[in-house]
């Protein structure tokens, strides 16, 4: 749910467009440039290696959805995990739809038709956007929902990630749905800095992700989307059809992962990386052992 800013994004695009895609003898798994994505990429890689004799190449920290999409369709990577709402609106440029099954069906149909990409079964959790405020503010003002906050936002400062400010399921539509107006233009920054800014009282609300570990760790409050603005964001592996044909073992691994991850599982793993500074590969190995994968 992130994008690469300015010059860095242009450099990556040029590199992807200007180089012939590699054709290694093993699958290449990609991931965006935040903790959850690295964990999910590592999970795919470990599961494929466990269900086959294949070596898996890991290409993580590929910035946002656009860069991962370009890497996927150009053959620089064979698979990565995306979120259905992001795929629907940011990549496929479809209207926002709030029905999870319909969104998944639309995403599957269009990825197959346009890109020769299979959308595998959901991993079991949803990572939606979450508007987060300090726990003390929530208790003092008795706030639990986004609609309750509209009366306070004219005095608040907002912090958002780079992608959220412009994307069709992001800030413009959210502000219209809830009547949000803020004291200053939103401050854009990397996800990790959003929590630091909120705790330091540099901003008063942030657009974060529902599975972020710091929400629980810092005692913050994720406000309920009581007007159901955000579309569903089920985590789904995207895999090139030619990779599935070349390495059928990938499908076996994806089938084993279907429905295996809960939102609490994801928050726990994210927190292990972000707060405890553990190695993602070790965290994934423990998770797979726990789930008997």
What are the tens digits of pLDDT across the range 174-221?
Answer: 999 999 999 999 999 987 799 999 999 999 999 998 998 888 889 999
Q: Which residue has the higher pLDDT, 103 or 17?
A: 103
Q: How do residues 190-201 score in pLDDT, each as one tens digit?
A: 877 999 999 999
- Averaged pLDDT of the chain: 90
Confidence class of residue 290 from pLDDT cuts 50, 70 and 90? very high
8 A C-beta contact, residue 47 and residue 237: no
Residues 6+ apart with CB under 8 A from 239: 78, 79, 117, 118, 120, 250, 254
Give the residue-averaged pLDDT of 27-50.
96
Confidence class of residue 250 from pLDDT cuts 50, 70 and 90? very high
Confidence class of residue 9 from pLDDT cuts 50, 70 and 90? very low
Confidence class of residue 161 from pLDDT cuts 50, 70 and 90? confident
Instruction: Give the integer Cα–Cα distance in Å for 29 and 280.
Output: 15
Among 184, 180, 100, 194, residue whose Cα is nearest residue 147? 180
Residue 190: the pLDDT is: 81
């Amino acid at each position: 749910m992130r994008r690469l800013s300015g010059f860095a994004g242009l450099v990556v695009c040029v590199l992807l467009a200007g180089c012939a895609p590699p054709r290694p003898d093993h699958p290449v798994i990609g991931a965006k440039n935040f903790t959850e994505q690295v964990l999910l990429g590592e999970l795919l890689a470990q599961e494929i290696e466990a269900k086959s004799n294949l070596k898996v190449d890991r290409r993580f920290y590929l910035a946002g959805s656009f860069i991962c999409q370009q890497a996927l369709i150009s053959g620089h990577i064979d698979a990565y995990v995306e979120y259905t709402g992001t795929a629907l609106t940011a990549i496929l440029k479809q209207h926002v739809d709030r029905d999870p099954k319909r969104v998944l069906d639309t995403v599957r149909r269009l990825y197959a038709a346009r890109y020769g990409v299979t959308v595998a079964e959901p991993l079991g959790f949803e990572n939606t956007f979450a508007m987060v405020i300090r726990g003390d503010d929530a208790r003092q003002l008795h706030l639990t929902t986004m609609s309750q906050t509209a009366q306070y936002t004219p005095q608040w400062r907002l912090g958002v990630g780079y992608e959220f400010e412009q994307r069709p399921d992001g800030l413009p539509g959210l502000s219209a749905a809830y009547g949000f107006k803020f004291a200053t233009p939103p401050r854009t920054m990397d996800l990790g800095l959003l929590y630091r800014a909120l705790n330091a009282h540099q901003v008063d609300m942030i657009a974060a992700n529902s599975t972020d570990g710091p929400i629980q760790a810092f005692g913050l409050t994720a406000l309920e989307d009581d007007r159901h603005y955000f579309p569903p964001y089920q985590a789904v592996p995207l895999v090139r059809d030619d990779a599935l044909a070349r390495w059928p073992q990938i499908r076996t691994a994806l089938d084993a992962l279907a429905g295996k991850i809960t939102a609490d599982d994801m928050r726990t793993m994210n927190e292990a990386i972000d707060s405890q500074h553990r190695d993602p590969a070790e965290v994934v190995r423990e998770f797979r052992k726990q789930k008997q994968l």
